[in-house]
Amino acid sequence: MNLPDSAPVLERQLLLQLGDRLKRLRKAQGLGTVEMARRADMSRTTLAAVEAGDPGPSIGTYLRVMSVLGVSGELALLAGDTLQPAPAGSAAARSRRGRPVVQLLVSADESRHRVQDLQSLALHEEAVRLVRTDEALLRRARDTLARWLSAGQSRSTSLWREWDDILAHGKWRKVLGRTRRAQELRQASPLVTVLPDDVRQGILDQVSALRKGIVLGDTGEQAP
């Protein structure tokens, strides 16, 4: 499948997928969070961010966790010189053996709830990116929220009041996490109302593609 130049949902799912698998691997090795954080020389808060697939930690932080779990070799290979083309005229360059096929299947969890939350998370990450650079969009979100609050009591009133504080002080991390509260806030969000229609549709299309699964990497086909 051809991907757009910018695929925020794909990028987000890659991190979520990596974080989930690192957490499962830690548990399979019988490591608790305290011991794992000690071995990786990081706080439990940072470890939790890695296992949540948070984009905040650096790639080096992810690599430290992977190293402790014994699975850092694959990324080290990609970051090194091993995959550079063989020198012209060398035996390796003349070899007719097929190139190694490197593929990665990225897909959203089949659970409807998980897919919807991935979609909501991607919409909000894009909305936050836009309002950080455009004060007019932030004002629009706050105006929308004010209209909702002035309409009277609702089951979402407490969430909207929390949103008022989030928008006023830029507390974006409260709504970009994988906690239950973050999910509840996203469900009552005025922020996504500022997204342009084409941006929103692009994210929805990416989520739809992830439901089917996307293969990244070499197809193994040789050039003619």
Predicted pLDDT at 224: 41
CB 36 within 8 A of CB 47: yes
Predicted pLDDT at 215: 54
Query: How far is Cα 158 from Cα 192, in angstroms, rounded to an integer?
Result: 18
Q: pLDDT tens digit string along 198-207? A: 999 988 888 8
CB contact set of 167 (below 8 Å; sequence gap of 6+): 138, 141, 142, 145, 190, 191
Query: How far is Cα 163 from Cα 124, in angstroms, rounded to an integer?
Result: 13
Q: Say if residue 170's pLDDT is above 90.
A: yes
Q: Can you tell me which residue has the tokens 């009552």?
A: 188
CB contact set of 5 (below 8 Å; sequence gap of 6+): none
Angle between helices 135-150 and 157-169 (to 10 degrees): 160
Query: How far is Cα 150 from Cα 39, in angstroms, rounded to an integer?
Result: 52
Over residues 35-59, mean pLDDT: 91
**Tokens read off for 48:** 């939790």
Q: How many CA atoms lie within 13 A of 16 on its CB side?
A: 21
Predicted pLDDT at 63: 87
Q: pLDDT tens digit string along 86-118? A: 455 655 445 454 444 444 444 555 555 677 888
